[in-house]
Structure 1
Amino acid sequence: MNIILVKIKHGDHQAFKSLFESCHYKLYQFCYRFTNDRDTAEDIVQNIFIHIWNNRAKLNEQTPVEAILFKTAKQEISNWYRSLKNQEERIEDDAMIAEEEDTEDPHLAELQKDYLYKLLDKLPDRRREIFMLHRFDGLTCQEIAQHLEISKSAVENQIGLALAYLREQAKLSKSLL
């Protein structure tokens, strides 16, 4: 029986902290090998420990701690890849829609552009900057991350949030017509 898992299962914060401190770096290295991004690897490690704590009642004391941690790590990395793929697909879909809209009536396109800029002005400054670098300057997420000295996943997240906001506003404006 694994004593630390028994303690964590019963809500022992000190045991959980000890597990975190002893395994954090090893998990971080493991995650970094798959993501090649420090911030993303750190986020995934945090998610691993959150998952362990939130599901502590289901822990099997007979299973080795590292087996539980690395199985959870594989699941979290898989989730990250899925979300990354979904974000990239949404960005590509939005780019195709934007290209289709460019072929419409020039006057209507100008009105849409004015409306878009008004919506972009409502975004938080950093999100607007990232979105404009990506959409209007044609920079990749990696290039923006290097330019702004932030993680690629942070850039992708901000683009996703900006697109979600713009989609929501587009739905609202269509419902008003």
Structure 2
Amino acid sequence: MDSFEKIYSEYKHKVYFFVKKYIQKEEDIQDIVQDIFFHIWKHLDNSGSTPVEAIVFKTCRQEVSNFYRKNKLLFTFSEQDIISTEEDVFDEKNHEEQIARMTSLLEKLPQKTRELFIRHKIKNVSYSQLARENNLSKTAISKQINKALSFLRGNLQ
């Protein structure tokens, strides 16, 4: 069980963001991530000398494909997706630093812009819904989101 906990803590974010690239709905993402780790837990002893990372991302690809198959959607992994996923592996410390920088930059945005950005980009609320809730046009919402993105891109590089 210790080895599974280590794998889970090391790969939970990587798996989540991998699945998020291909699946839109948050509850579907969470279900798939749970299925991935269940599969890994169930077959961990049978892995032999295969590197853990290879097992994790192969399982990710299989579970995302299974999701598309169950929902009768067309989906294929390109070779570039597989290569870029393996190159995108990042260390936890660097990830934590990036989150801290992003949080710090978000705090510098005007409150309303920050709220709109977080609701749209993180909570997946549509421009239309944000416009209705804030009594603004979709264009105004778009400008606020783009303003936040420009600010973040300019200060993260």
User: What TM-score, normalized by structure 1, do the two folds share?
Assistant: 0.39
User: What TM-score, normalized by structure 2, do the two folds share?
Assistant: 0.44
**Max Rg structure:** 1
Structure scoring higher RCO (CA < 8 A, sep ≥ 6) equals 1
